[in-house]
């Protein structure tokens, strides 16, 4: 029989819909005590805290907070670029004036003036070690968790290439390196993050080819997160999900993690054409505002998505993106509201 979540929401408890799971996207605000006295032990302790906050709130698939990636000298993208680029073989991280001018002339990334590195030779693993960081996270996770990797396409757009002479070749070379890193990671899910293709939809065949190289190497559940960027709490990329449906359907992925809370309502219509074998994750928590969503607001967002996409199409609910630009007090309450809103929609007490 139906139960009322709010005056505007009705949920069928007898529904045969699959369970809707909750997850977070990746980053978490760096605790002040970790920033003040950073050390490997402090970072591990902080990661334990991040996991426990999510688990206590009832998150089904928590993330590690990506605390090992944060670099105060590269706050633009919370280390989601430099963490991967700097250790790789074939890349010089020191950028001189001529490099700076050459990268600026390419205008590949409007919000970033400085290249993350200069490619001077064949790309290789170098000292990049995703297994080591994933193992550390696993040691304090206390259960299944998700590990995140920036997509080769996004990484390629931050580099000045003095070796491959082709953006396509550079992107695929990055994909090869990352594919070697994601095999047999000790986590329940590996998520590939891409925040640039929504603003460059014509590049989708290359982005998909390079990302599938990584996705095919993953030996656990495969997820892809796409958003329109988050820089200082603002959207970076312009575009619509309708332009990306063919791209989404081409991905070798189990489920998608999509920004929707900070998007026009009609964006949901575009997602009706996503292939049925791909579970859809919808953003129901806006990380670009300090407003704490109520459980009723989140339940209404889920109901709206199911009414558009069809019963059972929504497999996951989550924030639009990572939490690193928000205060911890805001992030923690949004995490709690996410679970309560999901439970309200499903008719749980």
Q: What is the pLDDT of residues 220-278, one digit of tens each?
A: 999 999 987 666 555 555 666 788 999 999 999 999 999 998 777 778 998 999 999 99
Rounded-to-integer distance, Cα 227 and Cα 191, Å:
13
Averaged pLDDT of the chain: 89
Cβ partners under 8 Å of residue 169, min gap 6: none
CA dihedral (91, 237, 252, 81) in degrees, to 10, reads: 20
pLDDT at 325: 86
- Rounded Cα distance, 67 and 43, in Å: 7
pLDDT at 14: 31
Six token digits for residue 146: 């998700």
Q: 0.85 cut: is pTM over it?
A: yes
**How far is the C-alpha of 17 from the C-alpha of 13, rounded, in Å?**
10
* Residue 349 confidence (pLDDT): 54
Residue 233 has a pLDDT of 56
Please list, in sequence order, all residues whose beta carbon lies within 8 angstroms of the beta carbon of residue 1, skipping any fewer than 6 positions away: 13, 14
* Residue pLDDT, tens place only, 135-159: 999 999 999 999 999 999 999 999 9
Residue 57 clears pLDDT 70, i.e. is over it: yes
pLDDT of residue 195: 87
List the Cα angle 230/232/234 in 5-degree steps: 50
Label residue 108 by pLDDT band (50, 70, 90).
low
Identify the CA nearest to 68 among candidates 59, 77, 78: 78
Amino acid 231: pLDDT? 60
The yes-or-no verdict on residue 25 having pLDDT over 90 is yes
The structure tokens listed for 257 are 């993690």
How sure is the predictor about 89, in pLDDT bands with cuts at 50, 70 and 90? very high
Nearest Cα to Cα of residue 146 among 22, 7, 24, 289: 24
Nearest CA to 152 out of 215, 198, 239 is that of 215
Beginning with the edge strand found earlier in the chain, give each strand of the sheet holding 146-150 in spatial order: 21-22, 314-319, 279-285, 255-258, 221-226, 189-194, 146-150
Task: State pLDDT tens for residues 271-330.
Answer: 999 999 999 999 999 998 999 999 999 999 999 999 999 999 999 999 999 998 899 999
pLDDT the model gives residue 1: 34
Domain that holds residue 160: 2-346
In this predicted structure, the answer to whether residue 71 has a pLDDT above a threshold of 80 is no
User: Is the pLDDT at 335 greater than 90, yes or no?
Assistant: yes
DSSP string, 139-154: HHH-S--EEEEE-HHH
Question: Looking at residue 192, which CATH number applies to its domain?
Answer: 3.20.20.210
Distance CA 192, CA 197 (A): 13
- pLDDT tens sequence across 153-195: 999 999 999 999 999 999 999 999 999 999 999 999 999 999 8
Domain count of the chain?
1
Q: Which of 71, 64, 66, 101 is nearest to 86 (CA)?
A: 71
pLDDT at res. 200: 87
pLDDT in tens, 6-19: 333 333 333 334 48
Q: What is the DSSP letter of 11?
A: E
Q: If you compute the radius of gyration of the chain from its CA atoms, what whole number of angstroms results? A: 20
How far is CA 78 from its chain centroid? 12
Q: How confident is the model at residue 113 (pLDDT cuts 50, 70, 90)?
A: confident
């Amino acid at each position: 029989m139906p139960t009322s979540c709010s005056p505007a929401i009705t949920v069928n408890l007898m529904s045969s819909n699959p369970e809707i799971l909750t997850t977070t996207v990746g980053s978490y605000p760096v605790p002040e005590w970790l920033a003040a006295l950073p050390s490997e032990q402090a970072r591990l302790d902080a990661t334990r805290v991040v996991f426990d906050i999510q688990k206590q709130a009832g998150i089904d698939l928590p993330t590690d907070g990506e605390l090992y990636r944060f670099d105060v000298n590269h706050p633009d993208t919370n280390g989601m670029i430099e963490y991967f680029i700097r250790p790789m073989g074939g890349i010089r991280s020191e950028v001189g004036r001529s490099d700076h001018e050459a990268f600026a002339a390419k205008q590949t990334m409007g919000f970033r003036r400085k290249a993350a590195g200069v490619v001077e030779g064949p790309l290789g693993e170098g000292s990049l070690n995703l297994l080591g960081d994933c193992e550390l996270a696993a040691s304090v996770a206390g259960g299944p968790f998700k590990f995140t990797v920036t997509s080769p396409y996004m990484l390629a757009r931050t580099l000045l290439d003095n070796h491959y002479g082709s953006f396509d070749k550079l992107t695929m070379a990055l994909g090869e390196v990352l594919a070697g890193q994601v095999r047999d990671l000790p986590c329940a899910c590996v998520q590939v993050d891409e925040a640039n293709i929504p603003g460059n939809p014509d590049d989708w065949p290359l982005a998909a080819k390079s990302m599938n190289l990584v996705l095919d190497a993953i030996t656990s559940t495969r997820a892809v997160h796409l958003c329109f960027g988050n820089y200082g709490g603002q959207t970076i990329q312009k575009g619509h999900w309708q332009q990306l449906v063919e791209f989404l359907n081409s991905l070798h992925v189990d489920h998608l993690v999509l920004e929707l809370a900070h998007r026009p309502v009609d964006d949901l219509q575009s997602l009706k054409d996503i292939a049925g074998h791909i579970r859809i994750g919808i953003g129901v928590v806006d990380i670009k505002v300090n407003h704490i969503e109520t459980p009723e607001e989140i339940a209404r967002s889920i109901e709206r998505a199911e009414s558009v996409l069809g019963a059972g199409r929504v497999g996951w609910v989550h924030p639009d993106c990572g939490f690193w630009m928000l205060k911890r007090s805001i992030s923690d309450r949004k995490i709690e509201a996410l679970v309560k809103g999901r439970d309200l929609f499903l008719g749980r007490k």
